Amino acid sequence: MHTEKIYTEYKKFNAKKVFYILIFTIILGIIALGALLHGPSSIGFKNSFTALFKETGIASAIVWELRLPRIIMAILTGCGLSIAGTVFQAILKNPLASPYTLGIASGAGFGAVLAIIFGGSLYSEYLIAGSAFFFAMLSSLIILSIARLKDPSPETMILAGIAIMFLFSSLSSFFQYIGTMEQVQEIVFWFFGSLSKTGWKEISIVSVMIFVPIPFLIKSSWKLNLLATGDESAKALGVNTTKLRMQGMIFASLITSACICFTGVIGFVGLVSPHIGRMLVGSDHRFLIPTSALIGTILVLVADTFGRILWAPQVIPIGIVTSFIGVPFFFYLLIRRTRGYW
Amino acid sequence: MTRFITKTGFSLISVFILLCLSVSGTTAVGQTKIVEIQDANGNFVQVQLPVQRIVVLTSDALEIVCALKADNLITGVFTGISREALFEAKLKQKPKVGDWREVNYELLAELKPDIVLCYARSPGKNLEKKLNPFGIKVIRLNFFKLETLDQEIKTLGLILGKAEQAEALINWHQNRLQFLQEKLKGIKNPPDIYIEGDSRYHTAGPGSGGDKMCTLAGGNNIAKNLSIPYPEITCEWILKNNPEVIIKVATRGSYNIKAKNIKTDIKSKTRLVALKTIQEEIMVRPAWNHIQAVKQKRVHVITNEIWAGPRAVIGASYLAKWFFPEKLKHFNPEEIHKEYINNFHNIKFQGKYAY
Using one digit for the tens of pLDDT, what is the confidence trace for A79-90?
999 999 999 999
Rounded mean pLDDT, B165-180:
92
Identical fold at B28-162 and B181-345?
yes
**How open is the CA angle B129-B132-B133, to the nearest 5 degrees?**
100
- At A152 the three-state DSSP class reads coil
Residues contacting B108, CB < 8 A, separation 6+:
B55, B76, B97, B98, B116, B131, B136
What pLDDT is recorded for position B262? Answer: 38
The domain covering B181-345 belongs, at the CATH homologous superfamily level, to Nitrogenase molybdenum iron protein domain (3.40.50.1980)
* Beta pairing partners, B139: B117
pLDDT one-digit tens code per residue, B269-284: 556 667 888 888 889 9
Q: What is the ipTM of this complex?
A: 0.72
What pLDDT is recorded for position A31? Answer: 93
- Tell which phi-psi region holds residue B319, choosing left (phi > 0), alpha (psi between -120 and 50) or beta: alpha
Residues of B in contact with A313 (CB under 8 A): 226, 233-234, 237
- What is the identity of the amino acid at A263? T
Give the closest residue to B338 by CA, choosing from B328, B330, B348, B323. B348
Mean pLDDT is highest, among A100-114, A151-165, A282-296, B35-49, for A282-296
Residues contacting A47, CB < 8 A, separation 6+:
A56, A59
The verdict on A199 touching B (C-beta cutoff 8 Å) is yes
Domain ranges in chain B are 28-162, 181-345
The domain covering B28-162 belongs, at the CATH homologous superfamily level, to Nitrogenase molybdenum iron protein domain (3.40.50.1980)
What pLDDT is recorded for position A123? Answer: 64
Rounded mean pLDDT, B165-177:
93
pLDDT one-digit tens code per residue, A240-270: 888 888 888 889 989 988 888 888 888 788 8
Tell me the nearest-neighbour CA distance from B170 into chain A, angstroms: 27
B contact set with A (CB within 8 A): 79-80, 83, 100-102, 197-202, 226-228, 231-237, 239-240, 251-254, 257-258, 260-261, 286-287, 289-290, 304
Contact B83 A180 (CB under 8 A): yes
Tell me the nearest-neighbour CA distance from A212 into chain B, angstroms: 28
The verdict on A120 touching B (C-beta cutoff 8 Å) is yes
Q: Which of B253, B258, B261 sits opposite A182 (nearest CB)?
A: B253
Question: What are the structural domains, with CATH classification, of chain A?
Answer: 2-336 (1.10.3470.10)
Residues of B in contact with A203 (CB under 8 A): none
What pLDDT is recorded for position B12? Answer: 46
HEC string for chain B: CHHHHHHHHHHHHHHHHHHHHHHHCEEEECCEEEEEEECCCCCEEEEEECCCCEEECCHHHHHHHHHCCCHHHEEEECHHHHHCCCCHHHHCCCCECECCCCECHHHHHHHCCCEEEECCCCCCCHHHHHHHHHCCEEEECCCCCHHHHHHHHHHHHHHHCCHHHHHHHHHHHHHHHHHHHHHCCCCCCCCEEEEECCCCCEECCCCCHHHHHHHHCCCEECCCCCCCCCCEECHHHHHHHCCCEEEEEECHHHHHHHCCCHHHCCCHHHHHHHHHHHHHHHHCCCCHHHCHHHHCCCEEEEEHHHCCCCCHHHHHHHHHHHHCCCCCCCCCHHHHHHHHHHHHHCCCCCCCCEC
pLDDT one-digit tens code per residue, A317-341: 888 888 888 788 778 877 876 555 5
